[in-house]
Chain A
Amino acid sequence: MKGNHSWLSSLNPACKLFAHLLVMFMLMAISDFRETLAIWLLAVAIGISIGGWRISYLLKRLLPYFGFFVMIFWMMAAFGKGEETIWSWAWFHVTKESVSHGLTISLRMLGFVTYGLLFTSTTDLTSFIMSLIHQCRLSPKWAYGLLAGFRFIPLFQSELSQMKAAHKIRGYKQKNSWKAFARYSLPLFTQGIRKSERIAIAMEARGFTGSRDRTYYQTTKLAGKDFVYFIGLMVVVFGVWMAGFVL
C-alpha cells in the first residue's frame, strides 16, 4: 500500500475508509442493478478524476474481476428462478428476474472490489496506521506492532520460494496441498516467531513502551476536504439509492 499523488491520497485515511465502508453497506442493501451499476460507475469516475487512476491501470487491476463478473452473472442468470422466460435451451433457463439478480450480485461484487481498490491504491500504509492511532484511538502498541508485521510479508515470500526450490531438489512430490501447507508453514512460523521476538526486543530496547505517552513524527488530522469528500460521496450514493424509489 502506497499513496499516489492524487487528491484522494491527500485525504485522511481513516475517514476515507469509513466512507468507503458505508458505501459498501449501502451496496449490500440495494437490490436494483441499475442503482448498483451507477454506484460502481461512480467509483470508477472518482478513481479516474481524483484518484490518479489511468485507464491502463484500471484495466490491469479490474480485468481479473471482470472474469468473476461474467461467471457470477452467468451462474445467477442461467440457473436462477423466475417467471418471465427470455431464453431457454437444454438445462439453461434465463428469465428476466434471474438476469436482474445476476447483474445486481455481480455488479455488487465489482463495486466492493473497486471501492476497496480506491482505498488501497491511494493510501500510504504508514499514514493509515497513524490515522488509526489519531482518529480511531488505536493503541500505539497494536499500531506499531501491525507496522512491524507488514515488513514480514516480502520476507515470507522469499523464504517460501527458497523452501520450494529445496523441496524440488530433494525430489519431494506434492501429494496433497494440505500436507504441503503443513510442511512449509512450520519452518516459516518458527522463523517468524523468532524474528518477531527479536524485533520486539529491539523496539523495547529503543524505549518503546506501547503507551500513548509519546510524540509523533507523522500526525494525521481531519480537514475540511475530508468532510467534503465524505458528505459528497454519501449524498450522491444515497441520492442514487433514493432515486430508485422515486422513479
Chain B
Amino acid sequence: MQTNMYLGCNHLSVRFYQHRKKIVDDITLSIHPGEKLLILGPSGCGKSTLISALSGIIPEFLDAEVTGEVVRRERAGVMFQDPDSQFCMLHVDEEIAFSLENRRIPRGKMDEMISDVMDKAGLNIDKRTSIESLSGGMKQRLALACILALDPEVLFFDEPTAQLDPQGRIEIFELLKNLSRQTGQTMVFVEHVLDGCIEWMDRVILLNKDGRMIGSGKPEEVLREFDAEIKEAGIWRPKLFPVKWNDVVENHDHPVSAELTRFIETRSEEHRFVGGNPMIRVEDATIGYGKKAIVQDLNLTIHKGEWISIVGKNGSGKSTFLKSLARLESLRKGKIYFLEKELSKWPDVELYEKAGFVFQNPELQFIADMVFEEIAFGGRQRNWTEEQIQEKTHQLLREFGLEAHRDAHPFTLSLGQKRRLSVATMLLFDQDVLLLDEPTFGQDEKTAKELIKKLKERQAQGTTIIMVTHDMNLVDQCSDKVLLLKNGKAAYYGTPYSLFMNEVLLEDSSLVPPLHYKLVHARKELSLV
C-alpha cells in the first residue's frame, strides 16, 4: 500500500452484519488533495457505504465488517441527502455552534466563526432564524455551514440535492463549485443527477450493483465508455456535457444544435390533444390552508383525457390546489365542479371511485401489510366478491410489474416499486382522474421513465392526468396543458409550447425551459446583439 496516500482505500470490502453479501467489494482508490471525485452507481450499489467508510462513519458509528485498509483524514465533514434529519437544534446559529462546541472552541470565538461559515455557505439570513422555516435548499446550505464549521480537510456529499427541486439543486451545485474554486477543498460526491456537478469534477468512478468498481477516469471518458451501464443504473445523464452550451448556440452546424432545432420544429407543428367533455371546472376559486389564501380567482376547465401539469415555485400553492381538486383541502371561496356536479356534493365513496390521488411520499399512503392487499383494499371495503378482487388486483399487479412481490410488505419494496404500487392502488376502480403530487421526485431516471410510460398508457385509455411537477422536460413531453401558479394567481394556462416560448414569463417565474427552447431564446438574444 502506498505510504503517502492522502485519502483512499486498498482492497476495501464492507459487509453489514445482517446481510450475507458484501455491499462494497474489493475497492482500491486513492484520492489526491484538492481532487473532486464523483462516485456513480445504481441504487443499493454501496456508494453511500463507500463514502461512510472513507469518512470514518463506518466502523465508528455504524457497525459493519470491514476488510482491507482505509486511509482517512482526521477532520472530515459529511453532508447527507435528507435536509430534515441532520439537525438537532432549533435555530440556525445554535446549529452551527453545535459543530464548534464539539470541537471545544472557546465561546469568545464562536460568533465570528458562525458569521464566517454562514457567508461561505451563502446563508444570508438572520442567524436567529428557526430551522423549521427554511426551504430545502436553505437547509442544505445550513448543513454545509455546519460541516464547514468543523474545519474539515475533506468534504463528503451523499446525494446532497436528491431532496431538492431543480432550482435548489442548481443553487447548491453553483455554491459548491464556487467554494471549491476558492478553497481548493477536496470533495467526494455521490450523486444521481449529473447536470450541474459533472462539469467540474476531476474524476468519476462507477460501481456496479455488486459494489465493484467497473470504471474510473475523466468525466467525459467514463460517460462515453459506460453509457449503457450509466443508463441502466438509472442515473440522470447530463443533457449537454461534455458539449459546451456556447458552442451549441454559436455554431449552427453543431450536431446537438441541429438536433435541438429539429426537435423544436416538430414541437411547433405538433397539435396537442384537445380533450372531450369537461371533467373538472374551477370557478372563481380561492384556495389556501389554515387562514391563509394562497391562490385567488382560479378559473379553468380540465377536459376528459387531458394531461395537465401544474408548475410554479415552492410554496406557490401547487400541491394545495391539487389537494383541493380531490377535496383534501377545502376551498376558501368559489366552486369546483367535478363531472358537472359540485365537488362538495359528492359522497366520499363515489368521489374516490372516480378520482385517485398519488401522494409525494408513497410510504405515508400505504395502509395494508401486503402488496396484494394494498391494491385490493378499496374492493374489500366495498364488499366485492373474492373473484372480482382477485381478477382486478392481478391485472394491476401485472400492469405495474409487481407480481413477484405480491406477498411482500409494501415498505420492503425498492423506491421505484413503492412509487408504482402507490399509483396502482389508485387505479383499482379505473379512476377517471388521477392526481399526482410530484410523482418523479427523488426517483432515478429509469424508474421515472417507467412510471411515465405507464401513465401514458393509462392516458391513452382515457384517464385524465393532473400532475404537480418541477421537471420541465416532463411537462414538455407529456402534458397537453400547463397551469403556472405565480404570486397567488394563475399566470398561465395553455400548451407547454407557448409557455416555453414566452421568455418574459419564464424569467418572471424562474422556470428553466428544456434545452431546445433555451436554444431558441439564446439565438434570439445573439441576433439582437
B102 near A206 with CB under 8 A, answer yes
Chain A residues with CB under 8 A of B236? none
Does residue B17 face the partner (Cβ distance < 8 Å to A)? Answer: no
Of the four ranges (under 10, 10 to 19, 20 to 34, 35 or more), the interface on chain A belongs to 35 or more
A205 CA / B80 CA spacing, docked (Å): 11
B411 near A190 with CB under 8 A, answer yes
Chain B residues with CB under 8 A of A162? 359, 361, 364-365
Chain B residues with CB under 8 A of A213? 104
Q: Chain B 39-77, CB within 8 Å of chain A: the 1/0 string?
A: 000000000000000010100111000000000000011
Number of interface residues of B (CB under 8 A): 59
Chain A residues with CB under 8 A of B364? 159, 162-163, 166, 187, 191
A172 CA / B90 CA spacing, docked (Å): 36
CB-CB under 8 A for A215 and B107, given A171-B348, A201-B61, A201-B62: yes
> Which among B106, B328, B377 has the highest number of chain A CB atoms within 10 Å?
B328
Stretch at the interface among A39-47, A65-73, A142-150: A142-150
Checking B55, B87, B89, B104 against A205 with a beta-carbon cut-off of 8 angstroms, the contacting residue is: B55
Does residue B174 face the partner (Cβ distance < 8 Å to A)? Answer: no
Checking B84, B90, B328 against A147 with a beta-carbon cut-off of 8 angstroms, the contacting residue is: B90
Checking B87, B89, B150 against A126 with a beta-carbon cut-off of 8 angstroms, the contacting residue is: B89
CB-CB under 8 A for A169 and B357, given A147-B89, A155-B84, A190-B411: yes
Checking B60, B80, B326, B367 against A202 with a beta-carbon cut-off of 8 angstroms, the contacting residue is: B80
A179–chain B nearest beta-carbon distance, Å: 12
Q: Chain A 154-172, CB within 8 Å of chain B: the 1/0 string?
A: 1100010011011111111
B88 near A147 with CB under 8 A, answer yes
Question: Considering the complex, which residues of chain A in the window 169-184 have a beta carbon less than 8 Å from any beta carbon of chain B?
Answer: 169-173, 183
Chain A residues with CB under 8 A of B101? 214-217
Stretch at the interface among B92-100, B160-168, B331-339: B92-100
Does residue A85 face the partner (Cβ distance < 8 Å to B)? Answer: no
A154 CA / B132 CA spacing, docked (Å): 9
Chain A residues with CB under 8 A of B86? 198-199, 202
Does residue B352 face the partner (Cβ distance < 8 Å to A)? Answer: yes
A163 CA / B366 CA spacing, docked (Å): 8
Does residue B2 face the partner (Cβ distance < 8 Å to A)? Answer: no
CB-CB under 8 A for A206 and B348, given A147-B88, A147-B90, A190-B411: no
Does residue A125 face the partner (Cβ distance < 8 Å to B)? Answer: yes
Does residue B518 face the partner (Cβ distance < 8 Å to A)? Answer: no
Does residue B515 face the partner (Cβ distance < 8 Å to A)? Answer: no
B381 near A170 with CB under 8 A, answer yes
B318–chain A nearest beta-carbon distance, Å: 16
CB-CB under 8 A for A183 and B367, given A166-B359, A207-B103, A208-B102: yes
Chain B residues with CB under 8 A of A170? 352, 367, 377-378, 381, 425
Chain B residues with CB under 8 A of A216? 101, 107
Name which residue of chain B comes closest to A124, CB basis: B90
CB-CB under 8 A for A202 and B357, given A187-B366, A208-B102, A215-B106: no
A171 near B411 with CB under 8 A, answer no
Does residue A219 face the partner (Cβ distance < 8 Å to B)? Answer: yes
Does residue B85 face the partner (Cβ distance < 8 Å to A)? Answer: yes
B266–chain A nearest beta-carbon distance, Å: 38
Name which residue of chain B comes closest to A204, CB basis: B61
B105 near A215 with CB under 8 A, answer yes
A206 near B352 with CB under 8 A, answer no
Checking B78, B100, B323, B411 against A217 with a beta-carbon cut-off of 8 angstroms, the contacting residue is: B100
A216–chain B nearest beta-carbon distance, Å: 6
A168 near B328 with CB under 8 A, answer yes
CB-CB under 8 A for A168 and B348, given A201-B61, A204-B60, A215-B101: yes
A204 CA / B106 CA spacing, docked (Å): 20
A187 CA / B409 CA spacing, docked (Å): 12
Q: Chain B 117-152, CB within 8 Å of chain A: the 1/0 string?
A: 000000000000001100000000000001100100
Does residue B363 face the partner (Cβ distance < 8 Å to A)? Answer: yes
Q: Chain A 103-143, CB within 8 Å of chain B: the 1/0 string?
A: 00000000000000000000001100000000000000000
Question: Considering the complex, which residues of chain B in the window 287-345 have a beta carbon less than 8 Å from any beta carbon of chain A?
Answer: 323, 326, 328
B88 near A148 with CB under 8 A, answer yes
A224–chain B nearest beta-carbon distance, Å: 22
Chain A residues with CB under 8 A of B382? 171
Checking A169, A173, A198, A219 against B85 with a beta-carbon cut-off of 8 angstroms, the contacting residue is: A198
Does residue A151 face the partner (Cβ distance < 8 Å to B)? Answer: yes
Does residue A209 face the partner (Cβ distance < 8 Å to B)? Answer: yes
B85 near A171 with CB under 8 A, answer no
Question: Considering the complex, which residues of chain A in the window 185-199 have a beta carbon less than 8 Å from any beta carbon of chain B?
Answer: 187, 190-191, 195-196, 198-199
A168 CA / B329 CA spacing, docked (Å): 12
Does residue A56 face the partner (Cβ distance < 8 Å to B)? Answer: no
Q: Chain B 442-455, CB within 8 Å of chain A: the 1/0 string?
A: 00000000000000
Chain B residues with CB under 8 A of A145? 88
Q: Chain A 57-77, CB within 8 Å of chain B: the 1/0 string?
A: 000000000000000000000
Checking B90, B99, B363 against A206 with a beta-carbon cut-off of 8 angstroms, the contacting residue is: B99
CB-CB under 8 A for A172 and B367, given A202-B80, A207-B150, A209-B102: yes
A214 CA / B60 CA spacing, docked (Å): 20
A169 near B356 with CB under 8 A, answer yes
Does residue A203 face the partner (Cβ distance < 8 Å to B)? Answer: yes
A154 CA / B85 CA spacing, docked (Å): 13
CB-CB under 8 A for A172 and B87, given A206-B147, A207-B102, A217-B94: no
CB-CB under 8 A for A217 and B61, given A144-B88, A162-B359, A169-B357: no
A183 CA / B366 CA spacing, docked (Å): 10
Does residue B526 face the partner (Cβ distance < 8 Å to A)? Answer: no
Does residue B82 face the partner (Cβ distance < 8 Å to A)? Answer: yes
Question: Considering the complex, which residues of chain A in the window 72-95 have a beta carbon less than 8 Å from any beta carbon of chain B?
Answer: none
A-B CB proximity, top 8 nearest: A217-B97, A207-B102, A148-B88, A166-B365, A202-B86, A198-B85, A171-B381, A204-B61
Give 23 A-B contacts (CB < 8 Å), ordered by A residue.
Answer: A144-B98, A147-B88, A148-B87, A154-B132, A166-B364, A166-B365, A167-B367, A168-B348, A169-B352, A169-B426, A171-B377, A183-B367, A187-B411, A191-B364, A195-B84, A198-B80, A199-B88, A205-B77, A207-B99, A207-B102, A214-B101, A215-B104, A216-B107
Interface residues of B (CB under 8 A from A): 55, 57, 60-62, 76-78, 80, 82, 84-91, 93-94, 97-107, 110, 131-132, 146-147, 150, 323, 326, 328, 348-349, 352, 356-357, 359, 361, 363-367, 377-378, 381-382, 411, 425-426
Given A165-B359, A170-B378, A208-B98: 5 more A-B contacts, CB < 8 Å: A148-B87, A162-B365, A169-B328, A187-B363, A209-B102
